A and B are shown apart, each in its own frame.
Chain A
Amino acid sequence: MSAVVAGTDDPYVQQFAELSGRLPGSAVPWLHRRREEALDQFSRLGFPTTRDEDWKYTNVRPIIKRPFELASECCVGLVEDDLGDDLLPELEAHRLVFVNGRLAPQLSRLGDLPEGVSLDGLARLLDSEPESVETYLGRLAKPSAYGFAALNLAYMTDGAVLRVGKGVAMEHPIHLLYVATPQAAYMGYHLRNLVIAEEGSRAQVIEHYVTLGEAVCLNNVVTEVAVGASATVAHYKLQQESEKTYHVATLEVQQVEASRFDSYSVSMGGALTRNDINASLDAEGAHCELIGLYVAGGRQHVDYHTRVHHLRPEGTSREFYRGVLSGRGRGVFNGQVYVHPGAQKTDATQSNNNLLLSPDAEVDTKPQLEIYADDVSCSHGATVGQLDPEMLFYLRSRGIPEPMARGMLTYGFARDLVERIGIAPIRHRIEVELTRRLPNADVIEVE
């Protein structure tokens, strides 16, 4: 099968007529139209190939090889105890749990939401009050960007919709836990989240992906975030799925004046993980900070593509990404910064540091600046290296056995970035996961 263009004989296109009646909001005309348009886009775009510059190092053939079935069974009798530490029991949060692409109310704990805040499942909203999401849904993350986003819009089943009203500063974060517990191989989930932070509001949102069981599945996610004037949104993403999961996600952020958006993204699971993080700073004085850590061992592949569009003057952006690659693990980092005409006084920095722990591990890192304004300050730097022999010797000279010294340095490299995460229970969850996933780090005791 040629993957360049999906065409009308593509199974995803063919099934649509049959499945669309089962999708949430199927009776809503504008929504049905948007889904159809998206499907149309998908049939023209198809899945990306390595001939596409943005997908040069990430081959999605394993995802195309056979269609992933739209998962329909939700909760399969899961109870809280099945989720254990993934519920982040130490964290006081408003929690929504999604199982196999659908909201599981019995596992969710909304708690007391402040006045002016609404948090709901997308499917429920599309059936009961679709007009509440009409303005934004599918408008920020455009389905024309590439096939996965189009496919998501056509088939989206559920997700979280958060709206934080003007001036509301939320005290507790929102914890969105997505559990994949595939009952058969080749199940596909198309989740879509929407976050609207109105003027002067503050919110913290955690997207957290886990798998129960080992079946092959596809998680195709799109999250749209609109950050209002002087609003602050911190977005955390924790990807710790099984090593048989394909995870493709787009985070699309629209920022206006004096807003702030922080992204903390940690990828440790998945056979193949692709994260596209796009931020448009579309008014003066917007600030965005993108921080990410990727860990790939075995035959894992993880790819981060970030695009920061500075569209107006006096915006600042900061990017810090780190990768740890071992075994035959492969990492890709492509950080694009566009300073559009007129976006004077833009201040953008980017750094990407990678640790290669085995001869077969690989990373492709590509910072990319495109600047069309003349009064700007932009810089980037990328490094690829091994564990520092001087540091190793220092630790060993104190009696620490070599494997443990390696584990400590590897963990330290990752943790140095994780320290930026302000929410202690999340940081702790990541640290514990790092000791499980990083080579030689199992001896590390998390404080």
Chain B
Amino acid sequence: MLTIKDLHATVGGKEILKGIDLEVKSGEVHAIMGPNGSGKSTLAYVLAGREGYEVTRGSVIYKGKDLLAMSPEERACAGVFLAFQYPVEIPGVNNTYFLKAALNAIRRCRGQEELDAMDFMHIAREKMKLVHMKDSLLKRAVNEGFSGGEKKRNEIFQMAVLEPSLGILDETDSGLDIDALKTVAEGVNALRGPQRSFLVVTHYQRLLDYIVPDFVYVLSDGRIVKSGDRGLALELEKEGYGWVEEAVGT
């Protein structure tokens, strides 16, 4: 589904990603771990197409297409979804209206018929249950005045409605208490399936207790310095990132 080769990227002229190689197949969950500043979030943004993140070398092939040549909205239409670490508040734009517009835009590219308000609400109500989101949040402006936990739930809720093929979770666990973390993780697990893959970017391993990955990578200074299975995450929990960095001599 996703093949990343020798990916280099700069932000504001500074090289952050220094050659990433990664292969994600349908249905797999890959966890990307690493200390602050290692380039985890940069990788997430580069894949979603954020402006200001310049790819200087390498390639990203997604479902056989050059992902880097696509605009953010084209990527979304092709099934890429980024759950933001810091979801932005958008005053004046109603949450329901926004999500309905997004779903219909994606349905248009997929050649599906657009949904009317009633059909949309039917789907929305169903998906809200996944993350135990309050009905009232639908009526508010996008993320405006939401608590940290509500914002993260809203991200997973959007993902559930938009049904992407590749979900990228950028530090979805940050700022969540253990109950909210469990709820969000259960929401993600409910979306797992043979046709859907996930890249889970996280600093801490505790999220991986709930979203169990197939592969774990450690990113350090823009490179993948270690890879393994779930056991690697547990080791990191015990030893800290210093252990990896020492081991690879960075």
Contact = CB atoms under 8 A, between A and B. Distances in A.
A394 interface: yes
A400 B102 contact: yes
A412 B93 contact: yes
B129 interface: no
A400 B87 CA distance: 16
Given A399-B102, A399-B109, A413 B92 contact: yes
B92 A394 contact: no
Given A395-B90, A415-B92, 5 more contacts: A390-B88, A399-B162, A400-B102, A409-B93, A445-B97
A396 B101 CA distance: 11
B97 A399 contact: no
Given A399-B76, A401-B73, A404-B101, A394 B90 contact: yes
Interface stretch (B8-16, B44-52, B172-180, B242-250): B44-52
Nearest to B97: A447
B165 interface: no
A402 interface: yes
Given A397-B82, A398-B158, A398-B162, A408 B88 contact: no
Nearest to B45: A393
B183 to A, nearest CB: 22
B67 to A, nearest CB: 13
A404 B72 CA distance: 13
Contact of A399 (B84, B90, B105, B141): B105
Interface secondary structure of A, over-half rule: helix
Contact of B76 (A397, A404, A412): A397
Contacts of A411: 92-93
B105 A401 contact: yes
A401 B98 CA distance: 12
A393 B92 contact: no
Interface residues of B, number: 33
A390 B141 CA distance: 16
Closest 7 CB pairs of A and B: A412-B92, A416-B92, A399-B76, A398-B102, A412-B93, A396-B72, A399-B106
A336 to B, nearest CB: 27
B71 A396 contact: yes
A413 B142 CA distance: 13
A409 B91 CA distance: 9
B94 interface: yes
A397 B48 contact: yes
A393 B101 contact: no
A389 interface: yes
Interface in B43-68: 48-51
A76 interface: no
23 contacts: A393-B50, A396-B49, A396-B76, A397-B72, A398-B102, A398-B105, A399-B73, A399-B102, A399-B103, A399-B105, A399-B109, A399-B162, A400-B105, A402-B71, A408-B93, A408-B98, A408-B101, A411-B92, A412-B90, A413-B91, A413-B92, A414-B92, A447-B94
Contacts of A129: none
Contacts, number: 84
A278 to B, nearest CB: 29
A357 to B, nearest CB: 15
A177 to B, nearest CB: 28
Contacts of A394: 84, 87-88, 90, 142
A145 B88 CA distance: 47
Nearest to B49: A397
Nearest to B161: A398
Given A401-B105, A408-B101, A396 B73 contact: yes
B224 interface: no
Interface in B120-158: 141-142, 158
Which residue, B73, B92, B142, has most C-beta atoms of chain A within 10 A?
Answer: B92
A391 interface: yes
Contact of B51 (A389, A399, A412, A447): A389
A388 B93 CA distance: 13
B166 interface: no
B167 to A, nearest CB: 12
A395 B92 contact: no
B82 A395 contact: no
A443 to B, nearest CB: 8
A411 B98 CA distance: 12
Contacts of B219: none
Interface string A230-266: 0000000000000000000000000000000000000
Which residue, B71, B73, B76, B162, has most C-beta atoms of chain A within 10 A?
Answer: B73
Contacts of B91: 412-413, 416
Contacts of B71: 396, 402
A90 interface: no
Nearest to B109: A399
A397 B50 CA distance: 8
A419 interface: yes
A231 B115 CA distance: 48
